């Protein structure tokens, strides 16, 4: 796992505590979580916990080979993927924690497959206080070997 650089996009009511949990874990490995939020000020508290604040989704894509995405809805998810496309690395794993329509995820999977990026659908269920306490529920879908690869990161952030 030490070869992974991990990014997190979307620091809203659910994303922030998930990212905070993930940063806590990464700190134990002497690593930094790369974070992006369109309202940068929301990311500032994570800087003090060891996260690196990135100025755009492109910066996340350039630096990370595991990218969590917890944005508001399908439209924001599609927009984020379009923003990431120019810089995503071959072999990257994109983890959508958004509860999205199957059609949206199918479009994303097909689009990212063309550049050899794997998508894991990992919608989370629960409230923000459950996210902070690592008590969310999820159901991951995607390639089994890739799910195993990201499992330690998912388990610590939800």
Answer yes or no: is pLDDT of 53 > 70: yes
Average pLDDT, the chain: 95
**Residue 141 DSSP label:** B
The architecture in CATH of the region 6-157 reads: 3-Layer(aba) Sandwich (3.40)
Q: Mapping DSSP to helix (H, G, I), strand (E, B) and coil, where does residue 103 land?
A: helix
At 71-111, the pLDDT tens digits run: 999 999 999 999 999 999 999 999 999 999 999 999 999 99
The whole model's pTM is what?
Answer: 0.96
Q: What's residue 2's pLDDT?
A: 55
User: Tokens for 24?
Assistant: 């806590």
Question: How far is Cα 46 from Cα 52, in angstroms, rounded to an integer?
Answer: 8
37-46 LR contacts (CB < 8 Å, sep 24+): 37/9, 37/10, 37/11, 37/12, 42/11, 42/12, 42/16, 43/11, 45/16, 45/20, 46/11, 46/16, 46/19, 46/20
């Amino acid at each position: 796992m030490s070869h992974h650089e991990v990014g997190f996009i979307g620091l809203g009511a659910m994303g922030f505590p998930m990212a905070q949990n993930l940063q806590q874990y990464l700190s134990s490995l002497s690593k930094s979580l790369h974070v992006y939020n369109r309202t940068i000020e929301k990311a500032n508290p994570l800087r003090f916990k060891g996260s690196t604040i990135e100025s755009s989704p492109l910066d996340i894509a350039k630096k990370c080979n595991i990218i969590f995405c917890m944005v508001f809805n399908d439209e924001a998810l599609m927009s984020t993927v379009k923003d990431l496309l120019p810089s995503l690395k071959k072999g990257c794993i994109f983890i959508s924690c958004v509860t999205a329509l199957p059609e949206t995820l199918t479009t994303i999977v097909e689009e990212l497959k063309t550049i050899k990026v794997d998508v894991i659908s990992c919608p989370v269920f629960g409230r923000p206080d459950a996210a902070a306490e690592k008590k969310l529920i999820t159901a991951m879908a995607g390639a089994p070997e890739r799910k195993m690869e990201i499992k330690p990161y998912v388990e610590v952030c939800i």
